[in-house]
Amino acid sequence: MNENEISFYIRKSIFSAYNELGPGLLEKVYEKVLTYELQNSGLAVKTQVQIPIRYKGLFIDTSFIADIIVENKVIVEIKSIPEISNVHHKQLLTYLKLTGLKLGLLVNFNTDYIDKSIIRKINGSIS
């Protein structure tokens, strides 16, 4: 399955969670529900994945933690905040760069319009 196909299932799971639970809960709640939905779709899901950084020969093993990685191809960064800021976009792009993954989804569940609160970020190009 490619990144675009995986993102279809992720978006479907996001809509399902949002329609069932509504906005404004803790990020951990949405993470657990999305994990449940994605695994029920037959997808491999990892949560709270520590991603190490190599910097000029220095190895930093606990540099950042990705909320969800699906099929080792797509990062999902979950927020439940009043507003997404530029730093959240940059954070996801940095995660993609450091992992070498091509696609990330930034989603904010604290919204009235979930369809406008799912943002795709691409590292390079997707085939």
Per-residue burial over 39-66, b = 16 or more CB atoms within 10 Å of its CB, e = otherwise: eeeebebebebebeeeeeeeeeeeeeeb
Phi and psi based region of residue 72 (left: phi greater than 0; alpha: psi -120 to 50; beta: remaining):
left
Q: What is the pLDDT of residues 22-55, one digit of tens each?
A: 998 999 999 999 999 999 999 999 999 988 888 8
Question: What is the rounded CA–CA span in Å between residue 112 and residue 75?
Answer: 23
- What pLDDT score does 60 carry? 84
- What pLDDT score does 104 carry? 98
Q: What is the pLDDT of residues 87-125, one digit of tens each?
A: 999 999 999 998 999 999 999 999 999 999 999 999 987
User: Is the pLDDT reported for residue 126 higher than 80?
Assistant: no
Pairing mode, strands 74-79 and 103-108: parallel
Indicate the CATH number of 3-122 among 3.40.1130, 3.40.960, 3.40.1000, 2.60.40: 3.40.960
- What pLDDT score does 21 carry? 97
Confidence category of residue 61, pLDDT binned at 50, 70, 90: confident
pTM, whole model, 2 decimals? 0.92
Q: How many residues does the chain have?
A: 127
- What pLDDT score does 59 carry? 85
- What pLDDT score does 127 carry? 63
